[in-house]
Amino acid sequence: MNYRTTITISVKTKQALESLKGDKSWDEFLLELVAEVQRVRREKNREKLAELLEAEFDEVKVRKWAREY
């Protein structure tokens, strides 16, 4: 079933969203907005993970070097 609901937002917020929405339906626009937010969050998490992995790799290299001498 295709249920509908209503959300209450300020006029200012609706105007800002409408300027971005263009000719898309609200469903299309909001789903695209959600997808974009998720994409950006995933990318930030990948960057954080890459930093952590790089730091751990450097730490392992230093520990190996320290054992050799």
How far is it, in rounded angstroms, from Cα 68 to Cα 28?
Answer: 60
Model pLDDT, residue 58: 59
pLDDT digits (tens, 9 = 90+) for 6-51: 999 999 999 999 999 999 999 999 999 999 999 999 999 999 888 8
Model pLDDT, residue 50: 83
Cβ(34)–Cβ(27) below 8 Å: no
- Residue 26, sorted as left (phi over 0), alpha (psi -120 to 50) or beta, turns out to be alpha
pLDDT band at 2 (very low <50, low <70, confident <90, very high): confident
Whole-model pTM: value is: 0.66
Q: Where are the domains of the chain?
A: 11-68
